[in-house]
Structure 1
Amino acid sequence: MAQASKSALASEVLLFPEQPALKAIYDTAPIGLACLSPDCRYLQINQRLTEICGISVENHLGRFVRDCVPALADSVAQIVRSIMETGEPVVGIEVVGQRADQAEERYWVTYWHPLRAPGGKIVAVNVAAEEITERKRAELELREARDAAETALRRLRETQESLVEAEKLAALGRMVAGVAHEVNGPVGNSLTIASTLQRKSEAFASEVSGGKVRRSSLNEFVSLAGDASAQLIANLSRAAERIQSFKQGALDPGQSTLRRFNAAELSEQLLSHLDRECRRRGIALELRLARALEMDSYPGPFGQVLTHLVMNAMTHAWPDGAGGRIRVDLRSAGDDQVELVVSDDGCGMPPDVKLSAFDPFFTTRRHHGATGLGLHVVHAVVTERLGGRIRLDSEPGAGTYVRLIFPRSAPRSDD
């Protein structure tokens, strides 16, 4: 009786037992096809399904899914039950498993549709399965490649940030060395003058204690004391200016505080220690600084930008060592902005160099020890720290012109 019932159901469901052409189309379809009974038995299986799943018709036809594919039985029963209850198809369900004859993981996407009798009753569920193993593997490889690329990019950015910080510290070191060199001169001179004054004072005191002070000795000592005092004041004032420039501009940009300062005075102090090096190279450093330019900004980053630009011109504008002119213009640009222009009459830049000038690690003098981070640091500090903008113009043989616009009141840092 049970066998007769199965045969009757199969006859009701399978619509082409007497139509060889339809049977051939079903069996040669490029995707796997199967027909399941409401109680999840295989009523029909095409040739493609046996190929992609590694199964045979003889071992599955008429048998329950739970007996043939135990791992998928619960999911299949749930989908079939949903279709029987709602009458709605279930499409795009991805299935992961193994072929019956292989251990490797495979992927299929399946589509489930109700099969109705002429009266409208759902008598079975048609299943279409397309193997997407290669696509899933390609997606997995692409995801792994993307993850590897993102990791490499993150590490590159970390390396770049560390190198940029190293370049900032190197610039700070150059400034410290320059200030130390400038301070050493006046302090050394002051020490010599003070030592001379001390010896003269001791000699004069000896004459006074012996009661043999002559008018000429007194006049000589007074004159010497006056000259020594004047020289001490001049030298110590010069040293104080250099120390002040160091205090104003050598702060680390990450820790610099927002405060008011005179941009012209700071610029003059910062560039004073580069003037000696410019003269040594035959470069004239011209400063045109509008006075009374008060800014509420970050003096450390401001000084770093200015120093970088002048040193960049010193390094790159005259590769043949011929020397020339660097001009620094600082002026007001309206009520709430300041304009800083650093220009030179050197060799200029060809278009490709100009295009890449602010790129990290780009330099035309790597064999001379350049890192290619100077202008990149300038761009980052100007745009990110000082809230300004920067423009570079240059032509071969016509020098280089760098124009910066800063707000008088810099945006507050979130650091």
Structure 2
Amino acid sequence: MTERKRAEAALRASERQFHTLADSIPQLVWMTHADGAIYWLNSHWYEYTGRPAGEIDPHAWHTVLGNRWTEALATGTALESELSLLGKDGEYRPFLTRVVPLRDPHGVVYGWIGTHIDISERQRSEREVRRARDAAEAALQNLRETQNWLIEAEKLAALGRLVAGVAHEINNPLGTSLTVASSLERKSRLFAAETAQGTLKRSSLNEFVDAVRNGSAQLQESLNRAAELIQSFKQVASDRNNSELRSFDLGDLTEQVATGLRPALPKHGVTLNVECEQDLSISSYPGSYGQVLTNLFLNSIAHAFPDGRQGKIAIKVSACGNSDVEIIFSDDGCGMSPDVRRQAFDPFFTTRRHQGGTGLGLHIVYSVVTDRLGGQLRLSSEPGEGTDVRIILPRQIPDRT
């Protein structure tokens, strides 16, 4: 009897220790018999619900947890679920419920212990994280759309500058042609009048013939120059609008693009030299290649020769092994500092923001070369030493249309 009393006392002490521990934690803790009937709840349960023990339905979990609780009782397996519990303030709050079986030394389930953990704050944090993520994704999408719009705007602006340069250049031969045509028209009227009056002299005839010969030569030269510019620009514009993969002579296309670019050169001091290997056929996207040369040219004009500085721009095209071609675009301008060189291809980086620069010209070059044309490029530049852009393109790239 003494041993039995001692064992019962130890059991009661153990239960008191357990209840004290269960009351000290912030979770709602409860215990049931093997059949799931609730027989004990910790103090936090009563604090949350505001209901005394007598008002707790012993089989409440059958109603709340439903079939999952029934299955757990039948199989003796642990259970985890989320549910809402009514508090004494009349508000439902979300809880994470965990229930584990209690087993005797022989493995037989003699009861269950469960906890309810308030996850209101966690769910609120998750909602805030989701809102922040959605806002970030929306901002990123908006940024991408804005960047794409700016890239397209920069492409159109580059083409617009090219159009303006070509139009200005065409004005010269057309103006000359108009002057010569007017002069020939006046001389023709005088010649016709002298012929009608019968006062035509041999000297007048010779003078008229010389004027017609010289005027015709000037007209032909000027109109051929204008036609050459127009044809070159039409080819470049056609290639820009054509996204199809096709075979073309890289040297010929480079010369055509250069012809369209020369009118945009500053009027004094900057020259454009082109050196192309002959019979260099490749299969690629000519419009994208023309865009690369145009952007490099316009970037060089804008940045390499400030304050009317004189200099040279050179484009050299040659084979590079059996499967690649090399394009070297260089200038002997003011060059770049290490910091500018490091950021040169970054989107929206520009040293001319106050002059309307978007910082997308070289970024477009990098994107087109590495993505659209499947190539690679390397930038070399030092302050006062000019700039070299070396581009390696494959002679044959897959059709991505």
TM-score, structure 1 as length reference: 0.84
2:386 to 399, 402, 414: 399
1:57–1:175 Cα change, 3 Å: same
Tell me how many residue pairs correspond in the alignment. Answer: 391
Matched, 1:65 2:52: no
Q: 1:311, CA displacement in angstroms?
A: 1.7
SS in 1 for 2:156: helix
Question: Do the aligned residues in 1 keep the contact of 2:49 with 2:86 (CA within 8 Å)?
Answer: no
User: What CA distance in whole angstroms lies between the structure 2 residues aligned with 1:97 and 1:188?
Assistant: 90
CA deviations over 1:334-388 (Å, ceiling 9, x no partner)? 3332211112223322222212111111011211221111111111222222222
Correspondence for 2:5: none
1:36 to 32, 38, 50: 32
Matched, 1:54 2:49: yes
The residue identity in structure 2 corresponding to 1:328 is: I
Equivalences for 1:190-201 in 2 at 5 Å?
A: 190-201=177-188
User: What CA distance in whole angstroms lies between the structure 1 residues aligned with 2:208 and 2:85?
Assistant: 106
The residue identity in structure 1 corresponding to 2:134 is: D
Matched, 1:335 2:318: no
Matched, 1:294 2:290: no
The residue identity in structure 2 corresponding to 1:99 is: G
The residue identity in structure 2 corresponding to 1:295 is: I
Matched, 1:263 2:258: no
User: What CA distance in whole angstroms lies between the structure 2 residues aligned with 1:280 and 1:43?
Assistant: 98
Matched, 1:86 2:75: yes
The residue identity in structure 1 corresponding to 2:65 is: V
Correspondence for 1:247: 234
SS in 2 for 1:367: helix
TM-score, structure 2 as length reference: 0.86
1:320–1:179 Cα change, 3 Å: closer
1:334–1:206 Cα change, 3 Å: farther
CA deviations over 1:90-141 (Å, ceiling 9, x no partner)? 23x22245434242x5332221223456776545432122222222221221
Say which is worse superposed, 331-340 or 354-363, in terms of deviation.
Answer: 331-340
Equivalences for 1:219-234 in 2 at 5 Å?
A: 219-234=206-221
1:38–1:79 Cα change, 3 Å: farther
Matched, 1:99 2:87: yes
SS in 1 for 2:354: helix
1:111 to 98, 101, 113: 98
The residue identity in structure 2 corresponding to 1:393 is: S
Equivalences for 1:6-405 in 2 at 5 Å?
A: 19-37=15-33, 41-51=37-47, 53-61=48-56, 63-65=58-60, 74-91=63-80, 93-103=81-91, 106-116=93-103, 122-208=109-195, 213-251=200-238, 253=240, 255-275=242-262, 278-405=265-392
User: What CA distance in whole angstroms lies between the structure 2 residues aligned with 1:295 and 1:227?
Assistant: 43
User: What CA distance in whole angstroms lies between the structure 2 residues aligned with 1:59 and 1:157?
Assistant: 63
User: What CA distance in whole angstroms lies between the structure 2 residues aligned with 1:38 and 1:282?
Assistant: 98
User: What CA distance in whole angstroms lies between the structure 2 residues aligned with 1:281 and 1:213?
Assistant: 47
Give structure 1 stretches of 5+ with no counterpart.
1-14, 67-72
Q: 1:327, CA displacement in angstroms?
A: 2.1
SS in 1 for 2:235: helix
Q: 1:75, CA displacement in angstroms?
A: 4.3
Q: 1:181, CA displacement in angstroms?
A: 0.8
Correspondence for 2:8: none
1:323–1:145 Cα change, 3 Å: same
User: What CA distance in whole angstroms lies between the structure 2 residues aligned with 1:218 and 1:310?
Assistant: 51
The residue identity in structure 1 corresponding to 2:27 is: I
1:155–1:62 Cα change, 3 Å: closer
Question: Do the aligned residues in 1 keep the contact of 2:36 with 2:73 (CA within 8 Å)?
Answer: no
Q: 1:308, CA displacement in angstroms?
A: 1.2
Say which is worse superposed, 232-241 or 261-270, in terms of deviation.
Answer: 261-270
The residue identity in structure 1 corresponding to 2:75 is: T
The residue identity in structure 2 corresponding to 1:182 is: E
User: What CA distance in whole angstroms lies between the structure 2 residues aligned with 1:295 and 1:119?
Assistant: 82
